[in-house]
């Protein structure tokens, strides 16, 4: 087989491996910067319903039994993360608790089985169970952060429309109702939260301040909390709503811009391993491959003569 064919096959192999490894990273950046190479899936705007699956029903039963036996295992931080991630029903709490109990129990049982005949293994069983109990929280935190990022991305657009409604003479609740209905398709998460706020005010007779505070607590987005405080203060004093809305929109856009700049500044650092692992071999193999082959051949010929 000739040197050209060998170099070509090595190039194709490295290129295929690089494309397979970097595919998740490329997909993440494409989705993050809204490059629409394919239609984006619209995020769910309502609390996801619990599917009628036998596995989920088993997790739910285990979680309900665990919560009934030890109610303290559902700590405030877990409930807050479930609320931020839009898992807000008691069924979701029971399923999540059941998953944690099963994962921790299974890991603890495997550790105890593996420690048979090894007394030192018993001391490792408890840390393994604790780590297994904590691991599901990482996935829940990731889900919560993704939803917070989506809400923060939708917030400037919603605020600009609230400014238009306020300048048209609508009240605060009227502007929220109008925007939540008109922008539900493009900003589903934030519009759903606003509709829930309107329902709390109308159905449960809550004040606007209480409704805004509960919405801010559900989402845990600092900009949304600041917006709620500014709107409640302006509504209480009877001031123009457009001015605080413009200020909040400018602040949110400035933060998003700085966040994009920070992410862009870290791209060269992230590209160094990619270049060293995938790009440099593609350059060095065609350049040094024939030389290495000729050097090895010369030394083999010299060794054969001796």
* 111: Cβ contacts below 8 Å, ≥ 6 apart: 121, 124, 125, 128, 129
State the pLDDT at residue 96.
Answer: 92
State the pLDDT at residue 37.
Answer: 39
CA dihedral 206→210→214→220, nearest 10 degrees, is 160
- Taking the alpha carbons at both ends of the chain, their separation in whole angstroms is 27
State the pLDDT at residue 42.
Answer: 44
Q: Cβ distance 111 to 129 under 8 Å?
A: yes
- Which residue matches tokens 């700590």? 75
Q: What is the DSSP string of 137-152?
A: HHHHHHHHHHHHHHHH
What SS3 class is residue 169? coil
Q: Pick from 96, 69, 91: which is nearest to 81 by CA?
A: 96
State the pLDDT at residue 5.
Answer: 61
What is the C-alpha separation between 103 and 128, in angstroms, rounded?
A: 11
* 189: Cβ contacts below 8 Å, ≥ 6 apart: 43, 45, 147, 150, 151, 154
Mean pLDDT by 10 residues, the chain (306 residues): 60 66 56 44 50 81 90 87 89 91 87 75 80 89 90 86 84 86 87 89 82 86 82 75 80 83 84 83 79 80 67
């Amino acid at each position: 087989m000739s040197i050209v064919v060998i170099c070509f096959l090595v190039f194709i192999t490295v290129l295929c491996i690089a494309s397979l490894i970097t595919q998740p990273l490329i997909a993440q950046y494409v989705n993050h910067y809204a490059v629409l190479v394919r239609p984006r899936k619209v995020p769910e705007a309502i609390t996801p319903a619990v599917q009628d699956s036998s596995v989920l029903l088993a997790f739910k039963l285990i979680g309900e039994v665990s919560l009934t036996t030890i109610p303290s295992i559902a700590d405030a931080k877990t409930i807050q993360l479930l609320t931020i991630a839009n898992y807000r029903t008691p069924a979701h709490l029971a399923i999540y608790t059941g998953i944690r109990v099963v994962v921790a129990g299974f890991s603890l049982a495997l550790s105890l089985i593996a420690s048979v005949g090894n007394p030192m293994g018993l001391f490792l069983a408890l840390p393994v169970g604790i780590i297994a109990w904590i691991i599901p929280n990482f996935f829940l935190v990731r889900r919560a952060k993704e939803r917070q990022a989506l809400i923060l991305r939708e917030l400037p657009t919603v605020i600009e429309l609230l400014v238009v409604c306020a300048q048209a003479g609508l009240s605060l609740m009227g502007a929220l109702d109008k925007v939540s209905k008109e922008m539900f398709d493009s900003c589903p998460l934030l519009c759903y939260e606003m509709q829930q706020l309107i329902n709390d005010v109308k159905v449960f007779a809550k004040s606007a301040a209480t409704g805004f505070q509960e919405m801010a607590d559900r989402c845990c987005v600092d900009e949304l909390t600041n917006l709620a405080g500014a709107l409640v203060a302006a509504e209480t004093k009877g001031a123009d709503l457009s001015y605080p809305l413009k200020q909040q929109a400018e602040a949110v856009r400035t933060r998003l811009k700085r966040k994009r700049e920070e992410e862009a500044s870290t791209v060269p650092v992230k590209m160094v391993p990619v270049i060293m692992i995938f790009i440099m071999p593609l350059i060095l193999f065609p350049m040094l491959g024939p030389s290495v082959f000729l050097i090895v051949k010369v030394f083999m010929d010299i060794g054969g003569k001796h």
